[in-house]
Every structure is written in structure tokens, then in C-alpha cells.
Copies of this chain bind each other. A is one copy, B any other.
Amino acid sequence: MKVIEGGIVSARGFRATGTAAGIKYQGRKDMAMIVSDSPCVLAGVFTSNVVKAAPVLWDMKVLRQSDYAQAVVVNAGIANACTGKQGEESCRETASEAASLLGIPEDSVLIGSTGVIGMPLDMEKIKNGIRAMVPELGNAAENGKIAAESIMTTDTIPKQVAVQVEIKGKTVTIGGMAKGSGMIHPNMGTMLAYVTTDASIKKELLQSMLERDVKDTFNMVSVDGDTSTNDTLLVLANGMAGNEIMDGEDEESRKFFDALHYVNENLAKMIAGDGEGATKLLEIRVTGAANTEDAKKLAKSVTESSLTKAAMYGNDANFGRILCALGYSGVQFNPDQIDFYFEAEGKRMMICRNGQAADYNEEEASALLAHEKVVIDIYLKEGQGSAVAWGCDLTYDYVKINADYRS
């Protein structure tokens, strides 16, 4: 597997672009489109929230009922959630407009929305946006970057990743983009993530791979514990790499799975590191839990602890808050045999030995925590279960962003 520059247009046959449609933000891009030259096999996972936004319900229907998908229309600023019948109608009109301009069926158009809940979309702006974007669709690296920028809300950096892998003698490319920031929580991690690939793969296999992989990637990310109404992760595969179709679990499809995992994991980590107001990415590794499920619960519990997150913001090696978060995770373990380490840029310090403070220097620990990526590496000595979760620190800016969000 080779990591390459690029994102959503790196795979053959995908074009994208973005535009400033003025939906809510002024003077910045807020709509994106992705279009495939040929019909795509589609896989998707969606928010577990009972309150599902209209575009989520639309995409779930496309996934369930359509033979293939070919385009995605995304807007930022307004989430089209809690908007009732009017919200559903907005989705239909959006798909209809894109379909007629692209000459594809309405039910092959996917829709994503992110932003404020409860406000209606101005359909004139959406339609104008689509009309502006269709002639601009392209497959240059710049097009992918524009699309990734256009779906941002409080994100501070566009999030893209792409890889190539040889499948049965053909080069298969997988690229993706995502937006995250707030309302990010393990039960389906990101607000919006789109992955495109030119692989030829059976729909059922792609869907099962995605459902399996999301448990170790997007679902291991937490920014603030709020599971959004709009979370959507879609994978479109158009088969243009020309590989013999993957239709079962074998060595070749395993290579594809690993490549898909790389894309998902990296998009997920970018979302955690760019959490609203965050100054650093936290990676929580748990080793030696009784089993994998326990390891996941323990790792997530630390990423979700407000006290741990605030301490990380203050570069405070407050080991007790980490132990405390492990303790209330719901997992049973012996606290007297826990060890853990802090790690950043190759430097590693033992912070906790057998459930008590290790003999570490506070100033050195604080300097280590000042890095942009910090690993907390935890050993329980209970069994063989391991897991990794990602999160971020809790900062003044998180509060500021979310106290003023709508103003």
C-alpha cells in the first residue's frame, strides 16, 4: 500500500468541486459536489441518533433501494435536521436538480448537510449552487481540495487522504475527505465523510467491510460526546480500476480492506485532532484488557473524560484523572496493576506504575504534553484485549465556539 497526495478525486473517474452558495456563511465556500463518470457501488453507515436529519434518511433510502449511486451534493451551514416534511422535500428537490443537470437518475444522488439544526434550507440557494458547480467539476488535485474545504464548518483544516494498492495486478486507488469538529462521538464518529475508489467490488462485501472497519476507526473518535443527527460515512466504488471484481474474503480483498482502513483511520484521527477548539490530538492505547470490548470501553472512557481533557489542555500530568476515567468505564479490572506512559515525538515517560504515581518529573511531563499529538499508552495485565481511541483536549475555545454557535 502506498500513501499518495490527494483525496476525493484521486481514484479514476471521480470529479468534484465546491462553491460559495451563501447558505448561511458569507464569503466562504459552503457547498460541494462529487460525481463519478460511471455508476458506483455504494456502502454507507449513518448516525445512531434517533433524531435523523432529512439527508440521512434520504441516503439510507438510496443505499437500501437504489442499484447504484453516482453523485453526492453536500452543504455546510444548515443541517436540514428537525425540519419535518419540508426537509424531506428539500432533499428530493436537491437530488432532482443535480440529476437533471448530470443526466442521471434522481435516486442515484446522495445528499449531505451539516450545520445548525432546525432551520430550513433556502432551496433557491441550493439550486443555484448546484448549477454553479456542475460546469466546474474536475479531477485535478485542486478540485478535491476545494470540495474538502467546502464542507467545513468549525473545522480549521480540510481533511483528505488517499492511498493506492495493487489488487489482482491492477492499481486501485482509495481517497476520502471528511469534516468533523463538533458533535463528534463514538456511535458513528464523524459528521460527514466521503470515500471514493475505482475498485471493482461487490456491494455486499463493501458494506460489510465498512461496517466492520468503522468500529475501529470513526467509532473510536470522540470530541464532545454528542452524537450528531447528521453523521454520514459513504464509500462509492466505480470499478474503473478494472480489477477482477472482489466478491469474497480473500487475500486480495484483505489488501483492499487494509487500504480502506488506512483511509478511514486517518480521516478519523484528523477529525479528533481538529476537534472544536482543540489544541492537540490524544491517542489512547489500551493493551492487556480482558478482551477487545473492555479495551474499547476503557480507551473511549479516557477520550470522553472532561477532566482528563481539560488537564491535557493545561499540560497537567494529572495521572489520577486518567485512572479515574478508566475506573468508571464500566469495565472491571484490578487498579493496583495498571501501568501507563505518556508519549510524544519519540519521547516516552512512565506516569503510573501499579496504580500509583510513577517517579516522574512534573516539568518534563508537562513539556511532553505540550506537543500536538500525545499518546497515552495503558497496560492492564488482565488479558489479551487491545484498542485505540482518539480524542482531543477541552479548551476555552470549545466553550466559546459552542456558546456563540448560532450568533
Seen from chain A, the residues whose Cβ lies within 8 Å of a Cβ on chain B are 47-52, 79, 81-84, 116-119, 182-183, 185, 187, 224-229, 304-307, 310-311, 313-314, 316, 318-321, 323-329, 331-333, 335-336, 352, 354-357, 394-396, 398-407
Contact = CB atoms under 8 A, between A and B. Distances in A.
Given A50-B333, A82-B356, 5 more contacts: A51-B326, A227-B328, A306-B402, A307-B402, A314-B402
A51 B396 contact: no
Contacts of A118: 319-320, 323, 356-357
Contact of A356 (B83, B229, B313, B405): B83
9 contacts: A50-B333, A51-B355, A84-B355, A116-B320, A117-B318, A183-B324, A225-B306, A227-B328, A395-B399
Nearest to A223: B306
Given A51-B326, A307-B226, A310-B402, A407 B316 contact: yes
9 A-B pairs with least C-beta separation: A117-B320, A314-B403, A51-B327, A310-B402, A227-B328, A49-B327, A50-B327, A224-B306, A118-B320
A279 to B, nearest CB: 11
A167 to B, nearest CB: 37
A321 B52 CA distance: 13
B324 A49 contact: yes
A307 to B, nearest CB: 5
Contacts of A333: 50
Contact of A328 (B49, B307, B398, B404): B49
Contacts of A117: 318-321, 323-324
Contacts of A51: 323-324, 326-327, 335, 355
B402 A50 contact: no
Contact of A313 (B116, B326, B394, B403): B403
Contact of A311 (B48, B394, B402): B402
B357 A305 contact: no
A117 B224 CA distance: 24
Contacts of A394: 399, 402
A291 to B, nearest CB: 16
A32 B399 CA distance: 35
B82 A320 contact: yes
A182 B307 contact: yes
A335 to B, nearest CB: 4
A323 B228 CA distance: 10
Contact of A304 (B225, B305, B400): B225
A328 B329 CA distance: 18
Contact of A327 (B229, B357, B399): B229
A314 B407 CA distance: 10
